Chain A
Amino acid sequence: MAAPILKWKRITSTSGPAPRPRHGHRAVAIKDLMIVFGGGNEGIVDELHVYNTSTNQWFVPAVRGDIPPGCAAYGFICDGTRILVFGGMVEYGKYSNELYELQASRWEWKRLKPKSPKGGAPPCPRLGHSFTLLGNKGYLFGGLANDSEDPKNNIPRYLNDLYTLELRSSSTQLSWDLPNIVGVPPPPRESHSAASYTEKDGRRPRLFIYGGMSGCRLGDLWMLDAETMAWVQPAVNGMPPLPRSLHSATVIGNRMFVFGGWVPLVMDDVKVATHEKEWKCTNTLASLNLETMTWEPLAMEVFEDALPRARAGHCAVAINTRLYIWSGRDGYRKAWNNQVCFKDLWFLETEKPPAPSRVQLVRASTNLL
C-alpha cells in the first residue's frame, strides 16, 4: 500500500500582528483557532496570541482577570474553552508551580489554588513537564526541578512523578491527586512529549510518554493505561526515530506525529556510544500508529525549501487533519551563546482530502456526457 505523500506547506500570507519568534512556548487548538502563549528568547513572553487558521489571521485578544506572568516550557491543556497553564520557567533559573485558568469564551484569566493531594505534597515548581488532557483529567508527569536557592546556580533534578487534576469535579475547588500506580513508571525526564489517545468507541484511554531529556536524550516509549493506572513499556514495531527531547508529539487520527527536537549527533558508519555532548536540531517527522504500535515510514516530499528547517522548542497543534507548527529555535551556536528563533508557520496535511461522494461523481460524468 503506497501511503500518500505528505507535504509541508508554509503559510506566508498571514495578516494581523505576528507574535515574536521564540521557543519554549505552547499552543492549543479550539476549533479553527491556534492559541499560543509564553515561551521566550532573550526574555519570557507574557502575551497571548491567537491564530485563526481559516482566515490566516493573527490577533491578540484583550485579556482580563489575574493575568499570569509569562512562562516558558510550561504545561498547557485545553478542555472545551477552558485553558489551563501550569508551572514553567518564569524568570531566569526560577520555576513555577502555579496553576492558571483562561476562559477562552471571555478571555478571562483566573489563578487557581488546587488542594494538595491526600497524603502528599502538591507538585513542586518545575519546567519541561507534560500536562495532558485525557478524559476529564489533566495528567502531569515529570519535568525538571531546581534544588538550588540561587537562580543563577542551577542544581537540576529530573522528575518522574505523576499527578492528576480532575477538571469536572463537583466541588468548585480543584485538587491534585497522587494516583496509586501499578507497574514501573518511566525513568525521570523533562522536555518529553505526552500524547493521549482513546479508541474511537471511547475505550482504553491511554497516555503515551515519548523521549525527553535526563542528561542524555531519550527515545523510549511508555504507556499509562488511564483505567488501571498501570505503566507499561509497550512493544513497538518498525524503525524508531532517533532519541530526542524538546520535540512535539501530536495525535491526529490514530497516529502520533513526532516532529523536530534535539537529537544526538551520530556518525553514520560508527555505531559507538556517541559522546553525549554533541546534539543537533532535526526537522524529521516520525509517525507512530497507536493502533498497531508501529513506527510507520512516511513518504515525504524532501525538497529543501518545502520542509520546515530543523528546530526545537516549537509548538504543534492538530486542527482537523492538519498539523500546525510555529516558531522554535534553530539550534545552539556554541561559540556565541545565543540562538535564532524562526518566524515561520507551517502545516502538514496528514490525510488525503476526503474522496468525492457518489453523487458528485455521477454529476461530473453526466455533465461530461
Chain B
Amino acid sequence: MAASKESIPTPTQRFMAFSQRMSNDFNVVGIDHCYAKPWSSHPDASNARPLQMLFVEKFLRQPPIDQPRTEDELVDVDGEETSPPALYDVSKARAMMSDCDRHASLLRPDFSDSKEDWEDHFASVRTAWTVQQNRIFAKVMKVLQSDRLARLSIVDTKNEPVQRRLQIDKASKRIRFVFGNIGWDKMLILWLHNLLLDKLRGQLLTSYLEVLQKLKAKIPSLIDRLIEGTSSNQGTLASESLAGLLKRNWDPVTPSINQQKLKKLPDNPLLLLIPGAPMPPNFMVNKRHKFWQNQLASMGKVINVVPINSNPNKSVVNCVESMVATTRSKILEMKGHFPGRLIVLIGWNVGSIVALHVSLLEAVHAVVCLGFPTMGVSGSRGEVDDPIYNCKTPTFFVVGQHASATSLDCLEDIREKLRVETGLLLVGGADDQLRMSRSKKRISGLTQAMVDRCIMEEMFEFLGNTLFQVMVQPDNTDETEVTKKQAK
C-alpha cells in the first residue's frame, strides 16, 4: 500500500502494534486502485518481494537535523521535551527496575552512614589476601563501579528501564567473564561472593544482586552453588531469601509485549518450530526460545519439533538427516491429527535449511527461515543444482546484518531465481541467531525482546498474506478450468 513504504520508520515507530500500523495506512486511493504490486507493475515480474530492513539506519549516531540553526534562534532549555508515546508500561518497568534496589536497602538500612568506611575496611584487609584474591576482587569491583557510573548517567532519562537493562546485561557478561577466567574456582568465588554480600553497600550491592539475577537465568547451576554456599551470618540475606530474589529477572518490555498479543493468522495454522540443532533428551528451554513460543502461540498452534540426539558422536550428516526425518514424521502426525489445517514450518539456522528441504518433500503452506545460512560445510548455496530452486512453498527469510554465515547478495541471487513468492527481512546489527549486538541495542534503545517482536510482526504480515491467499483460492476456482481438465 502506498503509505506503508513512505519512509523508513524509526526504531520506536517500528515497535508498534501491527494493527496500529495498519490503521495508519488506511488510504482510499490505494485500496480502490490496487492493481499493481508496489514494487512492480508487471504481473510476470519476479516473485521476490523487495528487501525489507529492520533497524537499519544510514546514520546511526546522528539524529536527523531538519533545519540548520540560525544564530539568534532561542534554544528551549527548560521547556518540556516532546516525547513519543511510551512503547511499554514505563511505570511498571521502573517499579521492576527498582526492585533490587529496594531489596538491597531493606537488607542494609544502614548503608548511608557506613558508606565511607567500607572502602577503608577493604584497604586495610587487602594486604592479607592472596594475589589471586586481590586480582579477582579488583576486577569485579571495577565492573561494579563502572556499572554504577553507567547507571548514574541514565538516571531519570526517558528510556531508563531499557538502558538499565542493557547495562546490567553488560555488567553480568563481564562478571561472568571474570569468573570464567579463573575457571569457576569454587573456593575463590564463594569467598568473594560472601565478602561482597557482607561488605558492599548501596548501589554497588544492588548492581551485584542484579548481575547475579541475570547470571542465574543464564547459568543457573553455577549460581545455585553460590547461593548454597552463602554463609548465613549476614542476617536477613540468608540463602533462601537470596535465592528468592535471584529467581526474578526483570525485563522492561516483556510484560507489555505479552499484553498486546499478536493476532491470529488466518485459519489458526499449525506452526512447526524447528530448532537449529538436535537437543539432548532433557534439554533446558532457554528464555528467548520460550518467549518466541509464547508469542507465536497467539498466531497459531505452536508445535515443537524436537529432534532428540541420544548419540553425541553422530556425524553432521546423520544429524541433519535425523532432523529431516523427525520433522517429516511430525508433519505426517499433525496431518493425521488435524486434517486440512494449514501448516507453517519455522526453522532456526540449520533448522531453516531443514524446513526448506522438508517443504520439498511434504506439502506445507509456508516456510519461515530465521537466520538462514547461505554458507554451509560444503561451500556457498545457490549453485545451479541446488535443490532449493525446486521450492514451491512461499518462504520468508530473516537474516542478521552481521551474520557470519549469510551473504545477503547470495540470498538475493537465490531469491531472484526462485519461482515462488519470497520475502527477506534484514535485521540491523544482528548476528546469525538474530541477536542484536549490545552497542546497537544501546544506541537504538531496544531490548532483544523488542527486536524479536518486530521480527515476528513482519513474519506475521507475510504469513497472513500468504495463508490468506491459500485459504481463499479453493473457493474461487473456476469451474471452466476444472471441466477443461476433465475433458482432456
Q: Which of B5, B31, B35, B480 has its CB near the most chain A CB atoms (within 10 A)?
A: B35
Instruction: Point out the residues of chain B lying under 8 angstroms from A44, CB to CB.
Output: 35-36, 41-43
Q: With the chains together, A43 CA to B42 CA distance in Å?
A: 5
B469 touching A89, Cβ below 8 Å? no
Interchain CB contact (< 8 A) of B37 among A43, A215, A336: A43
A43 touching B33, Cβ below 8 Å? no
| Residue-wise interface mask of B (20-36) relative to A, using a CB-CB cutoff of 8 A (1 in contact, 0 not) | 00100011111111111
Q: Does B136 contact A (CB under 8 A)?
A: no
B483 touching A12, Cβ below 8 Å? yes
Q: Known: A39-B35, A42-B36, A43-B45. Is A336-B29 also a contact (CB below 8 A)?
A: no
Q: Does B478 contact A (CB under 8 A)?
A: yes
A43 touching B41, Cβ below 8 Å? yes
Q: Does A144 contact B (CB under 8 A)?
A: yes
Q: Does B455 contact A (CB under 8 A)?
A: no
Instruction: Point out the residues of chain B lying under 8 angstroms from A262, CB to CB.
Output: 32
Chain A residues 37-69 with CB under 8 Å of chain B are 39-46
Chain A residues 78-103 with CB under 8 Å of chain B are 89-94
Instruction: Point out the residues of chain B lying under 8 angstroms from A41, CB to CB.
Output: 35, 43
Q: Does A213 contact B (CB under 8 A)?
A: yes
Q: With the chains together, A328 CA to B466 CA distance in Å?
A: 21
A246 touching B32, Cβ below 8 Å? yes
**Least CB distance, A39 to chain B, in whole angstroms:** 7
**Least CB distance, B281 to chain A, in whole angstroms:** 41
Q: Does A196 contact B (CB under 8 A)?
A: no
Instruction: Point out the residues of chain A lying under 8 angstroms from B387, CB to CB.
Output: none
B22 touching A334, Cβ below 8 Å? yes
Instruction: Point out the residues of chain B lying under 8 angstroms from A23, CB to CB.
Output: 35
Nearest B residue to A153 via CB reads B6
**Least CB distance, A230 to chain B, in whole angstroms:** 31
B22 touching A153, Cβ below 8 Å? no
Q: With the chains together, A343 CA to B119 CA distance in Å?
A: 83
Nearest A residue to B466 via CB reads A336
Q: With the chains together, A14 CA to B5 CA distance in Å?
A: 41
A213 touching B32, Cβ below 8 Å? yes
Q: Does A73 contact B (CB under 8 A)?
A: yes
Q: With the chains together, A277 CA to B477 CA distance in Å?
A: 30
Q: Does A20 contact B (CB under 8 A)?
A: yes
Instruction: Point out the residues of chain A lying under 8 angstroms from B36, CB to CB.
Output: 40, 42-44, 72, 89, 91-92
Q: Does B44 contact A (CB under 8 A)?
A: yes
Q: Does A264 contact B (CB under 8 A)?
A: no
| Residue-wise interface mask of B (113-147) relative to A, using a CB-CB cutoff of 8 A (1 in contact, 0 not) | 00000000000000000000000000000000000
B33 touching A127, Cβ below 8 Å? yes
Q: Does B2 contact A (CB under 8 A)?
A: yes
Q: With the chains together, A13 CA to B483 CA distance in Å?
A: 8
Nearest A residue to B36 via CB reads A92
Q: Does B472 contact A (CB under 8 A)?
A: yes
Nearest B residue to A344 via CB reads B478
Instruction: Point out the residues of chain B lying under 8 angstroms from A21, CB to CB.
Output: 476
Q: Does B465 contact A (CB under 8 A)?
A: yes
**Least CB distance, B75 to chain A, in whole angstroms:** 32
Interchain CB contact (< 8 A) of A339 among B22, B34, B263, B473: B34
Interchain CB contact (< 8 A) of B480 among A12, A39, A246: A12
Q: With the chains together, A272 CA to B418 CA distance in Å?
A: 52
Q: With the chains together, A22 CA to B38 CA distance in Å?
A: 16
A-B contact pairs, 15 of them (CB 8 A): A41-B35, A41-B43, A42-B36, A43-B40, A44-B35, A45-B43, A73-B33, A92-B37, A94-B41, A154-B2, A246-B32, A336-B464, A337-B22, A340-B469, A343-B477
Contacts A156-B29, A344-B478 supplied; 8 other A-B pairs, CB < 8 Å: A24-B33, A40-B41, A42-B36, A91-B41, A92-B36, A262-B32, A339-B34, A343-B480
User: Nearest 7 A-B pairs (CB), nearest first?
Assistant: A43-B43, A40-B35, A72-B35, A343-B478, A91-B41, A336-B468, A92-B36
